[in-house]
Amino acid sequence: MTIKLNGVLTEIPIKEVNLTQLLKIAEIPFEGKGVAIARNNDLAPRSNWDNEWIQEGDEIEIVSARQGG
């Protein structure tokens, strides 16, 4: 399946993937706070990540807070 992940066309090797699994596949650490996901310009509540399934052509933006100035 092909999606746009953080602005880049990305091939996902699994046909059924939820947002939590996508973070693992993309190797993005998400334990604790400081990570937000938007799917097709809609913020996905963290409580729904396990139940929100990605579809072909979805646009996913993952933002991670970083310390610094």
Q: What is the pTM of this model?
A: 0.84
Pick the CATH number of 2-64 from 3.60.70.12, 3.10.20.30, 1.10.10.10, 3.40.50.720: 3.10.20.30
* pLDDT in the model for residue 30: 73
Task: Categorize the per-residue pLDDT at 3 as very low, low, confident or very high, splitting at 50, 70 and 90.
Answer: very high
For residue 58, the number of C-alpha atoms closer than 13 Å in the C-beta half-sphere is 24
The 10s digit of each residue's pLDDT in 9-31 is 999 988 899 999 998 888 877 77
DSSP string, 1-69: -EEEETTEEEE-S-SS-BHHHHHHHTT---SSS-EEEEETTEEE-GGGGGG-B--TT-EEEEEE-----
Residue, of 5 and 30, whose pLDDT is higher: 5
